[in-house]
């Protein structure tokens, strides 16, 4: 369901006269309000045949990135890939018929993927530190985790926003721009994920990082907002919901705060105004994370407000 929120990063596809057009009224940093239709833009392509138009639209969507609030870009790309849609065989029951393909769960993040996320995060941090050097030859200003006669393993804790799970990836600095990534198995032994991974910025595209190993070379799409928060993209080009947990001293209250820096999720608010169709819970009831609490109808769509964590309902204000 479309939701309100701030557009932290906005990258639109290249517009080509008579081929690709983006009709929009928002820019990076704008807030999508709850009081109007939460439309970010209309993406229009023109080609001589339906198949070519679908291919052009998919390519444009692949290069359309919005970070900061949920969008339907992934849903649209999945729609374009369904043969019935490509052949023009669709009606109002299309989504129900193809629910399995359209609403399938995101691919599970492998250790390889998590290792890449950790390496890129450390690389970008060392890149920022490197810019603060007073002199390139001063060893005390390198800030690159080098240790004399010691294997420096930096723990990077990755938190998955979807299920709240976390995993520690260990990053070893090999030399400038080159890293190893490991994780510990159930017996406490180090297991390698990536070895000798050389990282560099893509000179042809500002939001790409190139990672090279002995066996392969691949690119990592990432975006950095004005607050230096780094978001990487998943296999379908959507923002990854895995973040690096910051390492800092905090109070007990701050420890309860979520990754975005907001107050504890003791209250759940509907993402937009609408008509309450049904209330599934009642005060004093114990609920599990993901359970439906309230059904809200807005803009001809039904949205289920879900519990963000296990707990007990203290009050429902409708």
10-residue mean pLDDT series, the chain (318 residues): 78 93 92 74 96 96 89 93 95 93 82 89 79 61 63 86 83 89 93 93 80 88 74 80 70 52 60 81 89 82 82 86
- Asked if domains 5-102 and 111-244 share a fold, the reply is no
Q: Please report the pLDDT score of residue 80 as a whole number.
A: 97
Fold of 5-102: D-amino Acid Aminotransferase; Chain A, domain 1 (3.30.470)
Q: Where are the domains of the chain?
A: 5-102, 111-244, 265-312
Q: What is the pLDDT of residue 85?
A: 96
Q: Which fold has domain 111-244?
A: Glycoprotein, Type 4 Pilin (3.30.700)
Q: What is the pLDDT of residue 260?
A: 45
The architecture that CATH gives domain 265-312 is Beta Barrel (2.40)
What's the pLDDT at 242?
80
Question: What single string gives the DSSP state of each residue in the chain?
Answer: ----EE-SEEEPPPPBTTTEEEEE---TT-EE-SSS----EEEEE--SSHHHHHHHHHHHHHT-EEESS--SHHHHHHHHTSHHHHTT---TTHHHHTHHHHTPPPPPPPHHHHHHHHHHHHHHHHHHHHTT-S-TT-GGG--S---TTS--EEEEEEEETTT--EEEEEEEEEETTEEEEEEE-TTS-EEEEEEEEEEEE-TT-TTEEEEE-SS-EEEEEEEE-TT--EEEB-TTSSBP-EEEPP-----HHHHTS-TTSPPPS-S---SS--EEEEE---TT-EE-TT-EEEEEEETTEEEEEE-SSSEE------
pTM of the entire predicted model:
0.70
């Amino acid at each position: 369901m479309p939701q309100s929120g701030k557009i932290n990063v906005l990258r639109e596809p290249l517009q080509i006269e008579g081929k690709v057009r983006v009709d929009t009224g928002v820019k990076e940093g704008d807030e999508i309000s709850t009081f109007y239709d939460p439309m970010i833009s209309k993406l229009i392509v023109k080609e001589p045949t339906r198949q070519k138009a679908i291919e052009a639209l998919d390519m444009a969507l692949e290069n359309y990135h919005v970070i900061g609030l949920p969008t339907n870009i992934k849903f649209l790309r999945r729609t374009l890939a369904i043969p019935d849609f490509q052949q023009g065989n669709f009606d109002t029951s299309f989504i129900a018929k193809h629910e399995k393909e359209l609403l399938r769960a995101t691919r599970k993040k492998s250790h390889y993927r998590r290792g890449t996320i950790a390496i890129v995060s450390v690389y970008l941090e060392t890149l920022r530190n490197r810019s603060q050097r007073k002199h390139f030859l001063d060893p005390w200003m390198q800030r690159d985790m080098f240790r004399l006669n010691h294997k420096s393993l930096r723990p990077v804790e990755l938190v998955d926003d979807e299920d709240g799970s976390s995993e520690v990836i260990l990053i070893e600095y090999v030399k400038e721009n080159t890293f190893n990534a490991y994780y510990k198995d159930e017996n406490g032994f180090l297991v390698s994920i990536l070895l000798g991974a050389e990282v560099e910025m893509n000179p042809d595209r500002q939001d790409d990082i190139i990672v090279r190993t002995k066996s392969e070379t691949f690119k990592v799409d990432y975006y950095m907002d004005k607050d230096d928060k780094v978001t990487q993209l998943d296999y379908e080009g959507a923002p990854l919901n895995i973040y690096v947990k910051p390492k800092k001293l905090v109070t007990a209250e701050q420890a309860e705060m979520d990754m975005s820096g907001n107050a504890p999720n003791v209250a759940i608010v509907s993402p937009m105004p609408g008509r309450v169709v049904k209330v599934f819970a009642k005060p004093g009831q114990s609920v599990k994370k993901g359970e439906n609490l309230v059904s809200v109808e807005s803009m001809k769509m039904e949205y289920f407000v879900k519990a963000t964590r296990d707990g007990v309902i203290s009050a429902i204000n409708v």
